[in-house]
Amino acid sequence: MDIGFDLAILYRGSLESCNYDCWYCPFAKAQDSADSLAADAAGLQRFVDWVAANPTRRLGILFTPWGEALVREYYREALVELSHLPHVTRVVAQTNLSYPLDWLESADRRSAALWCSYHPSQTSRERFLSQTARLRELGIRHTVGMVGLKEDLPEIESMRAALPEQTTLWINAYKREANYYTADQVARLGAIDRFFPLNNTYHPSRGKACEAGARTITVDESGEVHRCHFVNQRLGNLYTDDLAAMLKPPAPPNKNPPSPNRTPPGGGRARPRPARGAPTPAKEPEPRTTLGLCRAGRDEIPKSRAKPVRVAQRALPHHCNAPRSWTLWNGPGRSGQRRRFPPSCVLSAVKEPAPGRHPTHCRAASHQQ
């Protein structure tokens, strides 16, 4: 099947700031300094220039920022510029739609699209629906997503009823707690998003073939290329190395045995969130909890191995006594306990998408639709 492009690039710069304060997000209300914003803008412009100068492949580009990118003018300008390049068949940004949309009038509707997340704790349903109505007026393709919190199930159903039938509403399964959903809740969410049962599954995919690195790559603000956001395997640099030589055939990612300072990879479910202030259990180390799908937990993996960042609770077990190098938030929002872990614990045993190719339930590839 022709998906419209030869190579999908997921771009994630150094931007961390977000204007929302969702308790389940490690970057809620984060702030960037003027210097960090300038560096992020320079990295983005270099990427746009590279895309413009390399028209030999049909490209699909998805911006997957740590924070909210489209409140920044330089991301808006980049999306518009990329949309007009003939070899960029799709350019998409993940966004919360919390800004005026008139600038999209300058974008090419044939290629520009938005991945819109609705967070009921941060904005009203009416406000969000008015934004999606404006997107329809502008002719901008878009999809709507929500985090599948049990307490938001009525709101999820109300949003589905309010959206036009042709607008996809997908549900990001909440997988930080084992057996989080009842069978009835799974059925209700599956009636809204037919891929929800797949997204809610912990797929045993470690060591199995994946097209990440062959048809899809990730690029950061320095041009560093990896197979995907969750595979810590550097392929090269977009600006100094040959792209054709970097692209690898489907191969088992994360297949190396754990190093001595890592806990063995396990296939269990994520642990329930501990009670606030609960002491760290003094137990023998157990296999660490692994992640599931590409999109599930996309904000749990640190973007850089050079400095500490906050990662969400389910990335590591609470009893891990690894050396101090990374920060883990063990509670909702910013009120939980903090502990530190090495990047190897986060990156060594992450599970990858189902075998073969990017599956239909892989939300990182949703811009292919």
pLDDT under 70: residue ranges of the chain: 1-3, 250-369
If residue 88 lies in a helix (H) or strand (E), which one and from where to where? Answer: strand 88-95
Contact (Cβ atoms closer than 8 angstroms) between residue 140 and residue 104: yes
Give the dihedral sign, CA 240/249/354/326.
negative
Q: What is the pLDDT of residue 157?
A: 98
Domain range 7-250, CATH architecture: Alpha-Beta Barrel (3.20)
Strands 231-237 and 310-311 turn out to be unpaired
Give the dihedral sign, CA 97/99/103/105.
positive
3-state secondary structure of 227: strand
Q: What is the spatial distance between Cα 42 and Cα 222, in angstroms, rounded to a whole number?
A: 9
Candidates 195, 217, 202, 216; CA nearest to 352 is 202
Candidates 52, 46, 39, 54; CA nearest to 246 is 54
- The residues, ordered by sequence, that sit 6+ positions from 151 with a Cβ below 8 Å of its Cβ are none
One-letter amino acid of 144: V
Contact (Cβ atoms closer than 8 angstroms) between residue 294 and residue 353: yes
Q: What is the spatial distance between Cα 61 and Cα 89, in angstroms, rounded to a whole number?
A: 8
Q: What is the pLDDT of residue 232?
A: 78
Q: What is the pLDDT of residue 166?
A: 95
3-state secondary structure of 80: helix
Helices 153-162/183-192 angle, 10° precision: 20
Contact (Cβ atoms closer than 8 angstroms) between residue 218 and residue 229: yes
3-state secondary structure of 313: helix
Give the dihedral sign, CA 121/188/166/357.
positive
Q: Is 175 exposed, middle or buried (0-12, 13-18, 19+ CB in 10 A)?
A: buried
Please identify which residue in the block is written with the tokens 């899809």.
216
DSSP assignment of 276-305, as one string?
Answer: TTPPPP-----PBPPP-SSSTTGGGS-S-S
Q: What is the pLDDT of residue 26?
A: 73
In the chain, domain spans? 7-250
Contact (Cβ atoms closer than 8 angstroms) between residue 17 and residue 30: yes
